[in-house]
Chain A
Amino acid sequence: AQTVTQSQPEMSVQEAETVTLSCTYDTSESDYYLFWYKQPPSRQMILVIRQEAYKQQNATENRFSVNFQKAAKSFSLKISDSQLGDAAMYFCAYRRLRANSGGSNYKLTFGKGTLLTVNP
């Protein structure tokens, strides 16, 4: 079974600085997708960025970028120029690519989250 581990329950960063959130995962699959979701106090789950495992190039979305190390099964999120609105719980998630019987193909497997505080 796939597992996702976020080893940092809490992180803090000064406004305008850079912070990196860690995520590791365990899978025997070679093709899969990885996601970072943000959950602000409103509880809404918002997609931040996604990475296809077959792509070597790291995904980037404005101030958000990832460092995807497939061999190490590591998928960290870097937030540059942190803003107060970035304060939230961040979840790393995994989803397999190929179909199989039962429901496991369709679920996102989430880590337990990292609570990010942004200090003014």
Chain B
Amino acid sequence: NAGVTQTPKFQVLKTGQSMTLQCAQDMNHNSMYWYRQDPGMGLRLIYYSASEGTTDKGEVPNGYNVSRLNKREFSLRLESAAPSQTSVYFCASSELAAGGNTQYFGPGTRLTVL
């Protein structure tokens, strides 16, 4: 049982380049999330998908787009990367988006934008 998987694990981009971070979960969860973690801080929500076919902005959505490809997969795209987007990105999933549902996290992607 893999849980939540993310690819790639590491990525280095130049300013202005684009890339897509992939996330998949095998727990049949309805809700998925993208967070970023900056040094000395907790995680902040970028976008989420409460259920297949829906996506909504979180706290820090600027510069990102998402696609809920199907129930299993939720991708995060950087159209024109900026140094301020250097961070560790975590994908998470939960059975439902309701408050008590535990979110399970992937291993993270460390992104550096030069």
Chain A interface (Cβ within 8 Å of chain B)?
A: 4, 31-33, 35, 37, 42-47, 50, 52, 91, 93, 95-99, 102-113
Contact = CB atoms under 8 A, between A and B. Distances in A.
Interface string B30-51: 0101010000111111011010
Given A33-B100, A105-B99, A43 B107 contact: yes
Contacts of B44: 107, 110
Interface string B89-114: 01010000111101111111010000
B97 A106 contact: yes
Nearest to A1: B59
Contact of B42 (A42, A52, A93): A93
B80 to A, nearest CB: 23
B58 A44 contact: no
Given A42-B107, A102-B56, A106-B97, A112 B41 contact: yes
A54 to B, nearest CB: 10
